[in-house]
Amino acid sequence: MTDSTSARAPKPPLSQADLLYEAQQRRDRRFRTNVSVSWGIMLLILVYLFSGQDFLGIKTIKLDTEFIRNNITFIAGGIGQTFLVSALSITLAMVLALLAALGRLSTIPPIYALSTFYVSLIRGTPLYLQIFFFFLALPQLGIILTGLWAGVLALGLNYGAYMSEIFRAGLASVGKGQREAAIALGMTPRQTMQRVVLPQALRFAIPPIGNDFIAMTKDSALVSATGFVHEVMWRATRVGRAQFNNLEALIMAAVFYWVMTLILTYFQGLLENRLARGDR
């Protein structure tokens, strides 16, 4: 009781709570620093492993640096295509996913069935098969798609089926009370969906959509199998096979994919922070 005035004093000395808090902060900082340092060391070891240097009698792998120099721009030239395929596919996937998720809410049997049928069929077959289906099987029926569109269609349909679960969870995350408040105001079902439910569901879905986009940039490598989309993987296997330098070519491609993923993950983090700052 007598301490209550000192708590309100203008500049109190560091209290025990402050000291404990600072110690905790120091521990957290030290942990993060040590993790970063460890990462650096692991990266150095990995780089060293492919440096061709001898160290204490341990031979490391010697890469063909001339091949790398000659082909790095060719492989890097596929990054644009990789992004293009991923961006087009994720756009298609989001539309399909939203439709499939809304279909799951429908009380009209054929619409509900269509939604579950689509998700079941796509999730029940391999993505690799789906890509070949659009590229190799459809021409037999007279439908000829370019490699790009066959890939986009396959990736979009495939991811749409998986992402419909994200939207479904997003829609489910909006409480019943929200719908009731909208209805009580006199909103129609459509207005309730558009003004109240969807904005909240989409906000919920954005972080997992980001994750799927990152996954998509890597799965887009499968499109190289059609041989007609000149993205990173296609270019890497092409020069690698032609000159028996698959090791160098695939390492280059791996580095590009990794860096792309890191950059996207960084932006994903920024986006999530922004959303977290909002409401709720």
Partner 1 sequence: MMPIVQISNLDKYFGRLHVLRNISIEVAPREVICIIGRSGSGKSTLLRCINFLEEPSFGTIEVDGIKVEAGEKGKGHRQLVHEVRLKTGMVFQEFNLFPHMSVLENVIEGPVTVKGMNRAKAIELAEENLDSVGLLFKKDEYPNRLSGGQKQRVAIARALTMEPRLMLFDEPTSALDPELIGEVLNVMKKVAKEGMTMLVVTHEMGFAREVADRVLVMADGEIIEDAKPSMLFTQPKDARTKALIDRYRTGER
Beta carbon nearer to partner 1, 251 or 275: 275
Min dist CB 98 to partner 1, Å, is 17
Instruction: Give me the residues that bind partner 1 (CB under 8 A), please.
Output: 175, 177-178, 180-188, 191, 195-196, 199-200, 203, 278-280
Min dist CB 3 to partner 1, Å, is 24
Beta carbon nearer to partner 1, 124 or 186: 186
Min dist CB 193 to partner 1, Å, is 12
What DSSP line would sit under 6-37, residue for residue?
HHTSSSPPPPHHHHHHHHHHHHHHHHHHHHHH
What is the SS3 assignment for 4?
A: helix
The two three-digit tokens of residue 184, written as one number: 């009580």
Beta carbon nearer to partner 1, 191 or 243: 191
Give residue 112's region: left, alpha or beta (phi > 0; psi -120 to 50).
Answer: alpha
Exposure string of 244-257, with b = 16+ CB inside 10 Å and e = fewer, is: ebeebbebbbeebb
Beta carbon nearer to partner 1, 197 or 225: 197
Beta carbon nearer to partner 1, 59 or 280: 280
Is residue 223 within 8 Å of residue 147, measured between CB atoms? yes
Beta carbon nearer to partner 1, 127 or 183: 183
Min dist CB 173 to partner 1, Å, is 11
Alpha-carbon span 113 to 217, nearest angstrom: 31
| Extended strands (E) in the chain | 54-55, 58-59
Beta carbon nearer to partner 1, 12 or 175: 175
Min dist CB 154 to partner 1, Å, is 35
Residue 84 host element (H or E): helix 79-105
Min dist CB 203 to partner 1, Å, is 7
What is the SS3 assignment for 248?
A: helix
Instruction: Please calculate the CA angle 223-224-225 and round it to the nearest 5 degrees.
Output: 85
Min dist CB 276 to partner 1, Å, is 11
Amino acid identity of 242? A
